[in-house]
Amino acid sequence: MIVRALLSGVTAVAFGLLYQVSGSTLIISGVIGTISWALAGLIMHFPNAGLLGDFVGAIIVGGMAEVAARLKHEPALVFVVPSIIVFVPGDLVYQSMVAFLKDHFLSGMQSGLTALMAAGALSIGLALATAVLRPMLRGRWGAGKHRV
């Protein structure tokens, strides 16, 4: 469990490097990746969790990135993009692909649709975190002094 969370952090750092991020930003991305995966992993163990883990993970990534962006005066995008990669449902897409190739149409459809819904859960989680946190943070620190 802890090892997997740390692996998630390593993934976030590696993809951060791939997207040309550097310095302390990279370390923060790694921490966000680790914490979000650990909490999402806990939720996955609930009975009938379904895609709840992805959803909560995305909320945590979005929320922490928004706070980090405020504190570091950097675009939130820099923190979100590397950390969200581990939640992308690559495994489901792969299962769907193999099922279609083996003529198992129904299970291919099932995995494919689940992957699409997982992507939807991630999007809604990110959107929710950003939409709620951004106005709150803007109000607290320096009341939009950077606005035109």
Partner 1 sequence: MKPISSGQSENPVPKVLTVIADAGSALLASGAEVARVEDTMQRLAFAYHLKSVEVIVFPTALFINASGMNTVIRRIKNRGVNLAVVRAINQLSRDVSQNPIAVEELENRLAEARRTARYRPEANLLFAGIGALAISQLMGGRPVDLLPALIGGALTQLVRQWLRHMGVANGVADMLAAAVAVVPAVASAYWGISYPGSILVAGIMVLTPGLLMTTAVRDGIQGDVLSAAARILEALLSAGAIAAGASLTLYMYLALGGRWT
Q: Which is nearer to partner 1, 50 or 120 (CB)?
A: 120
CA-only gyration radius of the chain, Å: 17
- For residues 69 and 71, give the distance between their C-alpha atoms in angstroms, rounded to a whole number: 6
Q: Which is nearer to partner 1, 46 or 77 (CB)?
A: 77
Least distance in Å: CB of 122 to partner 1?
7
Output phi, psi for 141, to 5 deg.
-100, 105
The residues that touch partner 1, with contacts defined as CB under 8 A, are 4, 7-8, 10-11, 14-22, 25, 73-78, 80-81, 84-86, 88, 90-91, 93-98, 100-102, 119, 122-123, 126-127, 130-131, 146, 148
Q: Which is nearer to partner 1, 42 or 74 (CB)?
A: 74
Q: Which is nearer to partner 1, 35 or 78 (CB)?
A: 78
Q: What are the CA-CA distances from residue 57 to residues 73, 121, 134 (Å)?
A: 23, 10, 18
Tokens 């990110």 locate to 126
Secondary element (H or E) of residue 73: none
